[in-house]
Amino acid sequence: MRLQVYCEDRLGLTRELLDILARRNIDLRGIEIDQVGIIYLNCPEIEFDEFRQLMSEIRLISGVTDVRKIQFLPAEREHRELRALLETLSDPVFSLNLTGKVDMANKSAFRLMGSHHENLIGESANVLFPDFNFAHWLEREKASQVCRQVVLTGIDYLMEVMPVYVTDSEDNDVLASAVVQLKQVSMNHLPTTLYRTPGEHGFEHLVGQSSKFRALVNQAKKFALLDAPLLIQGETGTGKELLAKACHQRSHRAEHPFLLVNCVSMPDDAAETELFGCAPGPEREGKKGQFEQADGGTVFLYEVGEMSPHLQIKLLRFMQDGTFRRVGEEHEVKVDVRVICSTQKNLSELVTAGQFREDLYYRLNVLSLTVPPLRERPSDVQPLAELFLNQFSAELGQERPALQSGVPDFLSQYSWPGNIRQLRNVLFRAVTQIEDGTLTKEDIQLPETEQSAFLIEESMDGSLDDIMKRYESGILSNLYRSYPSTRKLAKRLSVSHTAIANKLREYSIGKK
């Protein structure tokens, strides 16, 4: 029960109230004293007769003008109001105690960390945000608000750390806790003066958990520290450009430019000027090329397999010693540039076919990385989907949709010929279609195909029965989009309507 006692401001009155509760063996759970002459008491519920006697005894205290039972204390109401306000925020918010551990977090924080309440509460902030030393910040004589850029689950955030001070009995401000708020932003909109995470920055934007992905990243981190040319191969949409940027950011060239040159469908004259620049002439101004502008940094040649034979000769000359001539100029320019190339074609096959210079191929292929397609690492589909959904919710200014049960498996069973780019586009379209805040299988529109999941190594876990069920579920899921009824699907597969209905029910296909 909660009591509201109206009284005069008299010395000893509160003590008399507590004495009454002690004589009656009533436990005091909480007390609040208002400056306008109101005392609030929080006690366990008692029998009606004892309650009536207690109320009468309190009214007999000198200075008490009234006492009544209320539903909640002011602090409880304020706490619930603040909690409700926190839950409406789309930004993740954490409260930290003086030991640097999480005391409280809102729903957005739990969703970001992929944690349940019991896993996140009590977790050390240094584990959640390893790039910021909370222990050092809390130990300062006068901790002040700070702002840092952090990357969590592949997404950029502005992290604001705000100290919470309380006034002690001697009117001194004492640090009591800290509040951390994360605001999702684009890297292009980060303040130029903002502290940026060193070292690992760049690779933190790459998301995945499969063994093939981890092996790729580990190898790329080693290659990033070297200056030798790097060739990145992989199908379209696998993220070769993002990997190249991560290698640049991890290298000693990170403070210098990273410039991209698209080798696809570029005329020779324009491409040569773009790469090497041109000397001033009667009807033109001089121009620095990409190699000269990137001096000290990295030039990324996108789809180098599309480069014309003429440009291949020019590039080969540059790769030998880092020197080149601007178009229309005689003297040579020397720069210090690392070259990273990408291609979705097999360069060795192009060499065999006479479409790519063999000597240039060996110049470019000193270090090489091959990005595996998404169909070969299905366990990466769900974390990538989570990343994209978080990005879309921020871009569209709406709450992140929940995933219907079975959607992650449904996404992982598709072969994704367009790889990560296709996954992102499909999910963006799906997010714009949902209305009830839940993303279902029916919201996901994939190309009409009867090709199910490939039977690859990572989908072979479990018994033969488990493998066959996953394969059967993938076939039915794909076909159901083109034959969205049990009768149509049964006719397509030449089996009974009852058999198909049972299978769809077993795999939860076609249910909202």
- For 126-150, the pLDDT digits (tens) are 888 887 888 888 777 788 888 888 8
Q: Going by C-beta distance under 8 Å and a sequence separation of 6 or more, which residues neighbour residue 228? A: 366, 367
Q: Give mean pLDDT, residues 370-398.
A: 86
Residue 239 is predicted with a pLDDT of: 92
Confidence of residue 370 (pLDDT cuts 50, 70, 90): very high
The answer for residues whose C-beta is within 8 angstroms of residue 155's C-beta and 6 or more apart is 184, 387, 390, 391
The residues pairing with 287 across neighbouring beta strands, listed in sequence order, are 278
Whether the per-residue pLDDT at 451 is higher than 50: the answer is no
Q: What pLDDT does residue 461 have?
A: 58
User: What is the reported pLDDT for 448?
Assistant: 57
- pLDDT over 80 at 418, yes or no: yes
Confidence of residue 230 (pLDDT cuts 50, 70, 90): very high
pLDDT above 90: percentage of residues in the chain: 31
Complete edge-to-edge strand list for the sheet that includes strand 173-184:
102-105, 93-96, 173-184, 155-167, 146-152
pLDDT tens string 292-336: 999 999 999 999 999 888 889 989 999 988 898 888 888 888 999
Residue at 375: amino acid letter: R
pLDDT over threshold 50, residue 198: no
pLDDT score at 186:
56
> In this structure, which amino acid lies at residue 22?
A
Q: How many CB atoms sit inside 10 A of residue 159's CB?
A: 20
pLDDT exceeds cutoff 90 at 477: no
- Band (pLDDT 50/70/90 cuts) for residue 223 is very high
Burial of 349 (0-12, 13-18, 19+ CB in 10 A): exposed
Tell me what pLDDT residue 361 has.
94
Mean pLDDT of 108-115: 78
Query: How sure is the predictor about 481, in pLDDT bands with cuts at 50, 70 and 90?
Result: low
pLDDT tens per residue, range 102-111: 988 888 888 7
Please compute the mean of the pLDDT values over residues 261-289 and round it to a whole number.
81
Residue 338 in this model has a pLDDT that exceeds 90: yes
> What mean pLDDT, rounded, does the chain reach?
84
pLDDT value for 420:
93
pLDDT at 367 over 90: yes
Ranked by mean pLDDT, the top range of 161-165, 226-230, 476-480, 485-489 is 226-230
CA–CA distance, 503 with 490 (Å, rounded to integer) = 11
- Length of the chain in terms of residues written: 512
Residue ranges of the alpha helices (H) in 114-168?
117-120, 125-128, 134-138
Which residues, including other chains, have CB under 8 Å from residue 248's CB and lie 6 or more apart?
202, 224, 254, 258, 297, 298, 300, 338, 340
Q: Answer yes or no: pTM beyond 0.95.
A: no
**Is the pLDDT assigned to residue 199 strictly greater than 90?**
no
422 phi and psi angles, rounded to 5 deg: -65, -40
User: Which two three-digit tokens encode residue 508?
Assistant: 């939860």
Q: 389: buried, middle or exposed (CB in 10 Å: 19+, 13-18, 0-12)? A: buried
Structural tokens at position 240: 């070769």
Q: Give backbone dihedrals phi and psi of 70, rounded to 5 degrees, phi first.
A: -125, 170
The pLDDT tens digits for 240-251 are 999 999 999 999
Pick from 89-98, 136-145, 184-193, 487-496: least confident:
184-193
Beta bridge partners of 299: 259, 339
> How far lies 493's CA from each of 60, 449, 458, 476, 483, in Å?
86, 14, 28, 10, 10
pLDDT exceeds cutoff 60 at 195: no
- The strand pairing partners of 181, in sequence order, are 93, 160
Round to whole Å and give the CA distance between 494 and 502: 15
Mean pLDDT, range 10-19, rounded to an integer: 89
